[in-house]
Amino acid sequence: MGNTIEKVSIIISKGSLEGVYPGLIMANGARAEGIEANLFFTFFGLDAINAKRLSHIKVAAIGNPGMHMASLIGVLPGMSAIATKMMEKKMEENDIPGIPEFMEMIADTGCGIYACKASVDLFGFTKEDLIGQVKDIITVGEFYEMAAGGEIIFT
């Protein structure tokens, strides 16, 4: 076998269910395998660590080829809410926790959770706007220092 991964840093930049969950699942899997893992939330990905927004993240119904429907249907009122309810039901059936619970679970495994300083400043957030599991608000340079020697995944 080849080299093993010892550290992974995952960047989450999208604020939709299908944009957030892949990074959470990958971080959780890394920790389960004993791999050091850090999550870096930037731009709309900040919604997943914003205390007021993380419980309201929805499926992106417009321009999402994974929805397997015409984009025109996605613009109809309520389509995002319907798609989100369907996805949440499937996740519940498969014992996949909601984002707030998942964040707690991942943080409890020792995964580092960080917010991008440039994005926090852009949207006018402060540390108080973020969930308690966020270790720090860091610059891109600090993220690269932390990620050095490991794999970087952009979701």
Task: Look at residue 71 and tell me if it is in a domain.
Answer: no
* Residue, of 95 and 129, whose pLDDT is higher: 129
Reported residue count of the chain is: 155
Tell me how far apart the alpha carbons of residues 151 and 155 are, in angstroms, rounded to a whole number: 13
CATH number where 41 lies: 3.40.1260.10
- Would you say residue 71 has pLDDT above 80? no
Q: Does the structure show a pLDDT above 90 at 106?
A: yes
Has residue 42 been placed in a domain? yes
Q: Dihedral sign for Cα 97, 100, 47, 83, please.
A: positive
SS3 (DSSP) at 37: strand
At 79, list the tokens: 């389509």
Structural domains in the chain (count): 1
Across 22-28, average pLDDT:
96
| Domain-located, residue 78 | no
Domain containing residue 29: 7-58+98-154
Has residue 86 been placed in a domain? no
Residue 121 CB neighbours (<10 A): 11
pLDDT tens track for 117-131? 999 999 999 999 999
Spatial contact of 19 and 13, defined as CB atoms under 8 Å apart: yes
Per DSSP, what are the bridge partners of residue 151? 8
pLDDT at 79: 65
Residues β-bridged to residue 115 = 41, 137
**What's the pLDDT at 66?**
55
Helices (H), 56-116: 71-74, 79-93, 99-108
pLDDT of residue 72: 46
Instruction: Report the pLDDT value the prediction gives residue 81, as an integer from 0 to 100.
Output: 73
Residue 132 has pLDDT above 50, yes or no: yes
